[in-house]
Amino acid sequence: MKPKIIGAVILAAVAAVAGIVMLFTDSTQVTALNGYLGGEKIGLFEDEEIAEYIKKTYHITFDYSRAGSLDMVTADLSGRNYLFPSSQTALEYYNEVHGSAKADEIVFNTPIVLYSHKIVADALEKQGIVSQTDGVYYADMEKLTTLILDEKQWSDIGLSQLYGSVCVDTTDPARSNSGNMFAALLANSLNGGKTVDESTISAVLPKLKEIFSRTGYMETSSSDLFNQFLRMGVGAKPIIAGYESQILEYAAENPAAYEKIKDDVVVIYPSPTVWSTHIYIALDDNGKSGIEALVDKEVQRLAWEKHGFRTGDYSSANGKIAVSGIPENVTAVMNMPSYNVMKKIIDELS
Partner 1 sequence: MKFIRAVLAAITAVGVIASVSGCSGASGITHGETLRILSGSENEALSQILDECEKKTGVNIEMTYKGSVDIMQELKSGAPDYDAVWTASSLWISLGDEKHIVKHDESICTTPVIFGIRQSLAEQLGFMSEQVSVKDILSAIENNKLKFCMTSATQSNSGASAYIGFLYALLGKNSALTNDDLASPQLREQIKSLLSGVERSSGSSGWLEEMFLAGDYDAMVNYECLIIDANRQLVNAGREPLYAVYSYDGLSIADSPLGYLDHGDSKKEDAFKKVQEYLLSEEVQSEIEGTGRRISLNGVSAQNKAVFNKSWGIDTERILSPITMPAADVLSNALNLWQSSFRKPSLSVYCLDFSGSMKGEGNQQLVNAMKQVLVQENARENLLQAGEGDVNVVVTFDRKVLNVYTSESADADSLERLYESVREEQIGGGTDIYTAAKYADNLINENYNPSDYTAAVILMTDGVSENTNQIAFEKFYRTSGGDIPIFSIMFGSAESD
Stretch that binds partner 1, among 97-105, 210-218, 242-250, 284-292 (CB under 8 A): 210-218
The site that binds partner 1 (CB under 8 A) totals a number of residues, namely 34
Provide the minimum distance between the beta carbon of 295 and partner 1 in the complex, in angstroms, as a whole number: 25
Q: Write the burial class of residue 279 (CB in 10 Å: 0-12 exposed, 13-18 middle, 19+ buried).
A: buried
Residue 319: CB atoms within 10 A of its CB come to 11
- Produce one character per residue of 110-123: b if its CB has 16 or more CB atoms within 10 Å, e if not: bbbbbbbbebbbeb
Is the CB of 24 or the CB of 163 nearer to partner 1?
Answer: 163
Sign of the torsion angle spanned by Cα atoms 42, 338, 99, 299: positive
CB–CB of 115/240 below 8 Å? Answer: yes
Sole binder of partner 1 in the list 86, 178, 188, 221 (CB under 8 A): 221
Sole binder of partner 1 in the list 130, 234, 251, 303 (CB under 8 A): 234
Cis peptide before 238 (omega within 30 of 0): no
Residue 223: CB atoms within 10 A of its CB come to 21
Q: What is the spatial distance between Cα 318 and Cα 322, in angstroms, rounded to a whole number?
A: 13
Q: Any alpha helices (H) in 240-282, and if so which ranges?
A: 244-253, 255-261
Q: Would you call 62 helix, strand, or coil by DSSP?
A: strand
Provide the minimum distance between the beta carbon of 180 and partner 1 in the complex, in angstroms, as a whole number: 16
Provide the minimum distance between the beta carbon of 164 and partner 1 in the complex, in angstroms, as a whole number: 4
CB–CB of 43/253 below 8 Å? Answer: yes
Stretch that binds partner 1, among 179-187, 196-204, 221-229, 320-328 (CB under 8 A): 221-229
Stretch that binds partner 1, among 105-113, 213-221, 271-279, 328-336 (CB under 8 A): 213-221
Convert residues 38-77 into a mask of x (bound to partner 1 by CB under 8 A) and - (unbound): ----x----------------------xxx-------x--
Mutual orientation of helices 48-58 and 297-307 as an angle, nearest 10°? 170
Stretch 152-171 residues interacting with partner 1 (CB under 8 A):
161-165
Is the CB of 48 or the CB of 134 nearer to partner 1?
Answer: 48
Provide the minimum distance between the beta carbon of 3 and partner 1 in the complex, in angstroms, as a whole number: 51
CB–CB of 172/218 below 8 Å? Answer: yes
CB–CB of 73/83 below 8 Å? Answer: yes
Provide the minimum distance between the beta carbon of 200 and partner 1 in the complex, in angstroms, as a whole number: 26
Stretch 75-114 residues interacting with partner 1 (CB under 8 A):
75
Sole binder of partner 1 in the list 261, 322, 332, 333 (CB under 8 A): 261
Provide the minimum distance between the beta carbon of 55 and partner 1 in the complex, in angstroms, as a whole number: 14
Residues engaged in binding partner 1 (CB under 8 A): 36, 42, 65-67, 75, 151, 161-165, 213-221, 224, 227-228, 230-236, 260-261, 264
